[in-house]
Amino acid sequence: MKIDEIIPPRRFKVGSGEIHHCANIQLDPDEQVTFVTDSGREYDIMKKSWGFFATPSLNSRLKKFGFRTALVEDSGEKRFICLVEADKEEEFSGYLEQDNAKVLCWLSDSSYSLL
């Protein structure tokens, strides 16, 4: 694994917020990085020779750690995968409203259908 910290962070606007790009991480195949929230919830990204597992299992590990997984579309028809902490769904709804975006489906639910 190689970590390149960006000092000072690169700052740029996205929607109604500002992003701080703090580091680039390069993984070799079969290496994993785990991100941990202040409340102890975990989110993994794993590199494979063919690409990445961008999330842990949606309906098992992420659910166990208190995340729901949403497929979101913004007003420009760009689509994103969002991991929403279970106790922050109201805050997430406010974010969607502010950025004129919508949930197309909750991928972590046991039954879902894509448009």
pLDDT of residue 42: 93
Is 115 a residue whose pLDDT tops 90? no
Spatial CA neighbour of 68 closest among 59, 77, 56: 59
Per-residue pLDDT band at 21 (split at 50, 70, 90): very high
* Close Cβ partners of 48 (under 8 Å, ≥ 6 residues apart): 29, 30
pLDDT of residue 100: 92
Terminal Cα distance for the chain, rounded: 38
Task: State the Cα–Cα distance between residues 30 and 45, nearest whole angstrom.
Answer: 10
> 32-55 pLDDT, tens per residue?
999 999 999 999 999 999 999 999
Task: State the Cα–Cα distance between residues 46 and 30, nearest whole angstrom.
Answer: 6
Helices marked H in 1-115 — which ranges? Answer: 61-64, 89-98
Q: Kindly report the average pLDDT of the chain as a whole number.
A: 91
| % of the chain surpassing 90 pLDDT | 77
- Domain regions of the chain by residue span: 2-106
Is 112 a residue whose pLDDT tops 70? no
pLDDT of residue 108: 80
**CB–CB of 107/71 below 8 Å?**
yes
Give long-range contacts, CB 8 A cutoff, 24+ apart: 89-97: 96/72
| % of the chain surpassing 70 pLDDT | 95
pLDDT of residue 17: 84
Q: How many residues does the chain have?
A: 115
Specify the 3-state DSSP secondary structure of 32: strand
